[in-house]
Amino acid sequence: MSTIAILGATGSIGSALARHLVAEAKQVLLLGRDHDRLAALAAELDQPFTEVNFSASQSLEDALLKNSEQCGGYQGIVNCIGSMLLKPAHSTSDEEFRETIHANLFTTFSTIRAGGKVLRRSGGSIVLFASAAAEIGIPNHEAIAAAKGGVISMARSAAATYAAQEIRVNVISPGLVRTSLTKQIWSNPAAAAASTEMHALGRLGESRDLVAVAVWLLDPSNSWITGQVIGVDGGLSSLLPRRRQPT
């Protein structure tokens, strides 16, 4: 049975995806930085894990290659790693900008480079995450918008590069999703209400909303889909904000 490698497996989205796939009798390889959290999730799901230093792309490649034979090869790779910085440009330090680019864009490049090697013979699916902030102007998102915009551009180029090897590269572009990373927003009632009104469907996203699309993109039945950016954002990037109806 081939395996789906999940980068950032202990985060809200990565762990939700891992649980969903295992519930569907899929085999996963859990990759992350936090050994204790990885070990706990691996024990819960009875799946293998490897601690990875995402600041060095070779660490990811080594982890995937090392586990390839044991895992029976890979069906897909999902990069759930990311960060969020909400600051205007004039308040953002060089270090904060570099960290945002590294956490979101460099890890994407590492994922694509590793995927281009381990999926080269078998083909497969690479699933990446961007943000609606890369597609529309949202205040105080300069750094993250730049990083996620790079994810989208890189994914399209990689999809063209690796199409001949039947490696599909697609992007999920979410709106505001209730995760541990965004808790500073949704845990604040005023901020949560304002954010909710920006989404035409009138609610914030949940991890399960993104998991459903990631599973669909990983499915070999959908093998004619590549180079796509799929908005899973409650209408944030394409519809006017939700308006309160008069009472």
Let me know if domain 3-232 sits in CATH 3.10.50.30. Answer: no
Flag whether pLDDT at 246 surpasses 90. no
Q: DSSP letters along 107-121, please?
A: HHHHHHHHHHHHTTT
Flag whether pLDDT at 241 surpasses 90. no
pLDDT at 161: 99
- Mean pLDDT for the stretch of residues 36-41: 98
Mean pLDDT of the chain: 95
Neighbouring C-beta atoms of residue 83, cutoff 10 Å: 16
Flag whether pLDDT at 177 surpasses 60. yes
Say what angle helices 107-118 and 142-162 make with each other, to 10 degrees.
10
- Mean pLDDT for the stretch of residues 109-134: 97
pLDDT at 247: 55
- Mean pLDDT for the stretch of residues 103-119: 96
82 vs 3, 22, 23, CA distance in Å? 22, 23, 25
pLDDT at 243: 65
Length of the chain: 247
112 vs 46, 59, 61, 221, 243, CA distance in Å? 27, 14, 10, 22, 40
Helix-strand-coil percent breakdown of the chain, rounded to 5?
50, 15, 35
- Mean pLDDT for the stretch of residues 123-151: 98
Identity of the residue numbered 164: A
99 vs 31, 78, 116, 142, 226, CA distance in Å? 20, 21, 25, 13, 29
pLDDT tens, position by position, 45-91: 999 999 998 877 788 889 998 998 888 999 999 999 999 999 999 99
Q: How confident is the model at residue 199 (pLDDT cuts 50, 70, 90)?
A: very high
Parse the chain into domains and list their residue ranges: 3-232
CA dihedral 63, 67, 68, 70 (to 10 degrees): 180
Burial of 66 (C-beta count, 10 Å sphere; 0-12/13-18/19+)? exposed
Contact yes or no for 116/77 (Cβ under 8 A): no
